[in-house]
Amino acid sequence: MNKLVFIDYVIFIIYFLIVALYGYWIYQRKKKTSMDTKDFFLAEGSLTWWAIGASLIASNISAEQFIGMSGNGFSVGVAVAAYEWIAAIALIIVAVWFMPVYLKNHIFTMPQFLKTRYNETVSLIMAVFWLFLYIFVNLTSILFLGALAINSLVGNGNFHLIMIGLSVFALLITLGGMKVIGYTDVIQVAVLIIGGLATTYLALSMVSEHFGLGRNVLAGFNALIKDAPDHFKMILEKPSQDAPQAEINKYLMLPGITMYFAGQWIVNLNYWGCNQYITQRALGADLQTARNGILFAGLLKLMMPVIVMLPGIAAYVLYKNGALQQEMAPGGRFNADNAYSAILGFLPTGLKGLSLAALTAAIVASLAGKANSISTIFTLDIYKKYIRKDADEKQLVWIGRFTIVAAMLLAILFTWNDLLGIGGEGGFTFIQKYTGFISPGVFAMFLLGMFWKRTTGAAAVAGVITGFLLSVVFNNYAPAWFGHETWLYTAFPNGKGEYEIPFLICMGWSFFFTVLVMVVMSLAGPRVNPKAFELDTSMFRVKPSTMVLIVVTLLILSALYIRFW
């Protein structure tokens, strides 16, 4: 069912050639002049607003979204779209309030921000941490999940050969620098959206036909709402302690209205505003271009659930009504994460090739962006500062390229036999587990560092440590130590003989107490820290055209929440 035919491979090869040749053309245009670090890592401020927005989305959407969010759509429904839709508001906040601080202070890397605002120690600790996180968590999981997803679509392919192919494709783009990445990402996003919409169209058509309504996409969507009304509720109700485990598991993942007062904001603001992998695309531009690009990405985020979540809900309705039984449970083992590939298997000849291209585009763009961020942090924040301070621009660019190759080789090595156990935990869970524990402390450190002049370097170090320790306590020990029901939280049985607090609630309380610790420590210091940033209200004013983008985004988002509340 999943195997591709000749025309599918032709379509995929055409996609590959277009991206590769376009990237080479951009590289050759720049090669006529000497490339420096600002050009290689930040595209020398030459990315347009639409290239920045497209690159943000291309780097964000990868195999874990296609596979993981479709699986969550199958299990939970539209509530999982909160991650995408709240991201649109987070991007507005980043565009209006975070970017002016970065650009006014000429910040090019996140460790540089920490050095400028706090001290060398905080910067070095976080630079090393981010390198390990990006290589051994993000790069490996993107590579593993990507190869797995494409192998599933191709059918009986060679997992390791696919993994090497993805790595080489990403390297071809990454070695050309951020400008090549940014502009090829425009093609990647176009392919991703067209291929994704084709899959959604097919999924809704399949539902429509299954219920005898012909090939009518709108009728298929209405059939989804009618047949699975529980899958079209944004806010999940708090279950009772004796509720079915399936209902409790949904709430543990998305704890109703309470998550909007807790971890949902920390996840999004930390990811979109304090993450080298993401902010790097806008840090080389002027403020207006950066803002428009980020807000354009916010508009694109609003449509992502249509591409990555709706096929999962369609698979649920079809499975519930007797279809997709073999596809959802190959070999007799059911897995919700099979939802997306189950739909892909029914794509007609030609469209399978387009979907393969869309999936590859998402994976390669994410790999390229992550590798470039690893290279930027190592070259500018470690090599230039501590290894060779007198290195010239040409040497730094070459060190950046060597770092990219080394990072990709390490990722392949650790993914080859799944040494990190990504397959056992599930890729999406693997990423959340290792990034989520540190997010409250990192976000508190950035937020207070930007907007409270009293925050000290000692408080920043204490914040990272406190945030991590509290995340461990709330996630692993609090129910056993303090009980299942307290004024801070409610813990629920997780089906494994233990009680668990919803992850996003843990993150919210970890952040709250981390901020409290940082504030108390900073109050013992000077009223204005000598390294505090100078802020003025004019930095945060927006032009009428920017305000239009913000209002349009908020109106669409409000309509979605009103409709599916």
Q: For 348-386, how does the pLDDT look when each residue is reduced to its tens digit (9 = 90+)?
A: 777 778 878 877 887 888 888 888 889 888 988 888 888
Evaluate whether 73 touches 309 at the Cβ level (below 8 Å).
yes
**From 9-18, 103-112, 130-139, 327-336, the region with the lowest mean pLDDT:** 327-336
pLDDT of 95 above 90: yes
Distance, CA of 216 to CA of 238 (rounded, Å): 36
- Look at phi and psi of residue 139 and say left if phi exceeds 0, alpha if psi is from -120 to 50, else beta: alpha
pLDDT (average), residues 254-283? 85
| Among 89-98, 245-254, 393-402, the range of highest mean pLDDT | 89-98
pLDDT of 498 above 90: no
**From 58-72, 281-295, 363-377, the region with the lowest mean pLDDT:** 58-72
pLDDT (average), residues 87-108? 92
Q: What is residue 46's predicted lDDT score, i.e. its pLDDT?
A: 67
Q: What is residue 444's predicted lDDT score, i.e. its pLDDT?
A: 94
Evaluate whether 299 touches 192 at the Cβ level (below 8 Å).
no
Q: 500 - beta bridge partners?
A: 492
Give the DSSP per-residue string, 96-152: IIIHHHHHHTT--SHHHHHHHHT-HHHHHHHHHHHHHHIIIIIIHHHHHHHHHHHHH
Name the residue with higher pLDDT: 4 or 212: 212
Name the band, by pLDDT with cuts 50, 70 and 90, for residue 38: low
Distance, CA of 472 to CA of 454 (rounded, Å): 28
Q: What is residue 249's predicted lDDT score, i.e. its pLDDT?
A: 82
Evaluate whether 343 touches 311 at the Cβ level (below 8 Å).
yes
Q: What is residue 332's predicted lDDT score, i.e. its pLDDT?
A: 67
Total-model pTM? 0.86
pLDDT of 295 above 90: yes
SS3 state at 497: coil
pLDDT (average), residues 45-67? 79
Evaluate whether 441 touches 466 at the Cβ level (below 8 Å).
yes
pLDDT of 299 above 70: yes
Q: What is residue 173's predicted lDDT score, i.e. its pLDDT?
A: 79
Q: Which of 252, 261, 335 is nearest to 80 (CA)?
A: 252
pLDDT of 176 above 80: no
Name the residue with higher pLDDT: 31 or 320: 320
Evaluate whether 247 touches 488 at the Cβ level (below 8 Å).
no
Name the band, by pLDDT with cuts 50, 70 and 90, for residue 421: low
pLDDT of 438 above 50: yes
- Please work out, in degrees rounded to the nearest 5, the angle formed at the alpha carbon of residue 405 by the alpha carbons of 399 and 411: 130
**From 23-27, 221-225, 389-393, 408-412, the region with the lowest mean pLDDT:** 23-27
pLDDT of 37 above 80: no
pLDDT (average), residues 549-557? 93
Collect all residues with Cβ–Cβ distance below 8 Å to 18 and sequence separation of at least 6. 187
pLDDT of 56 above 60: yes
Pairing relationship of beta strands 492-493 and 499-500 according to DSSP bridges: antiparallel
Q: What is residue 1's predicted lDDT score, i.e. its pLDDT?
A: 45
Q: What is residue 97's predicted lDDT score, i.e. its pLDDT?
A: 93
Q: What is residue 510's predicted lDDT score, i.e. its pLDDT?
A: 93
pLDDT of 250 above 70: yes
Q: What is residue 155's predicted lDDT score, i.e. its pLDDT?
A: 67
pLDDT of 81 above 60: yes
| Among 12-16, 43-47, 188-192, 378-382, the range of highest mean pLDDT | 378-382
pLDDT (average), residues 524-539? 86
**From 34-43, 429-438, 496-505, 549-558, the region with the lowest mean pLDDT:** 34-43
pLDDT (average), residues 280-306? 88
pLDDT (average), residues 31-41? 61
Q: What is residue 306's predicted lDDT score, i.e. its pLDDT?
A: 86
Evaluate whether 203 touches 311 at the Cβ level (below 8 Å).
yes
Q: What is residue 552's predicted lDDT score, i.e. its pLDDT?
A: 93
Note the maximum CA span of the chain.
72
Collect all residues with Cβ–Cβ distance below 8 Å to 81 and sequence separation of at least 6. 234, 305, 309, 560
Name the band, by pLDDT with cuts 50, 70 and 90, for residue 41: low
pLDDT, mean over the chain:
84
Name the residue with higher pLDDT: 234 or 428: 234
pLDDT (average), residues 418-431? 60
Name the band, by pLDDT with cuts 50, 70 and 90, for residue 420: low
Q: What is residue 424's predicted lDDT score, i.e. its pLDDT?
A: 54
Name the residue with higher pLDDT: 212 or 461: 461
**From 168-177, 220-229, 524-533, the region with the lowest mean pLDDT:** 168-177
For the domain 6-103+133-369+541-564, what is the CATH superfamily, name and number? Sodium/glucose cotransporter (1.20.1730.10)
Q: What is residue 39's predicted lDDT score, i.e. its pLDDT?
A: 65
Q: Is 174 exposed, middle or buried (0-12, 13-18, 19+ CB in 10 A)?
A: buried
Distance, CA of 257 to CA of 262 (rounded, Å): 9
Alpha-carbon 107 to chain mean position: 22
pLDDT of 405 above 60: yes
- Please work out, in degrees rounded to the nearest 5, the angle formed at the alpha carbon of residue 132 by the alpha carbons of 57 and 388: 105
pLDDT (average), residues 88-101? 93
Q: What is residue 430's predicted lDDT score, i.e. its pLDDT?
A: 59
Evaluate whether 343 touches 199 at the Cβ level (below 8 Å).
yes
pLDDT (average), residues 109-118? 88
Distance, CA of 350 to CA of 348 (rounded, Å): 6
Cα separations in angstroms, 5 against 145, 356, 357, 390, 399: 23, 12, 14, 55, 42
Residue 190: how many other CB atoms lie within 10 Å: 14
Q: Is 81 exposed, middle or buried (0-12, 13-18, 19+ CB in 10 A)?
A: buried
Cα separations in angstroms, 272 against 101, 300, 549: 15, 14, 18
Distance, CA of 199 to CA of 306 (rounded, Å): 10
Q: Crossing angle, helix 178-210 and helix 49-60, to 10 degrees?
A: 60
pLDDT of 442 above 70: yes
**From 360-374, 440-454, 518-532, the region with the lowest mean pLDDT:** 360-374
User: With helix as H, strand as E and coil as C, how does 52-109 read?
Assistant: HHHHHHHHHCCHHHHHHHHHHHHHCCHHHHHHHHHHHHHHHHHHHHHHHHHHHCCCCC
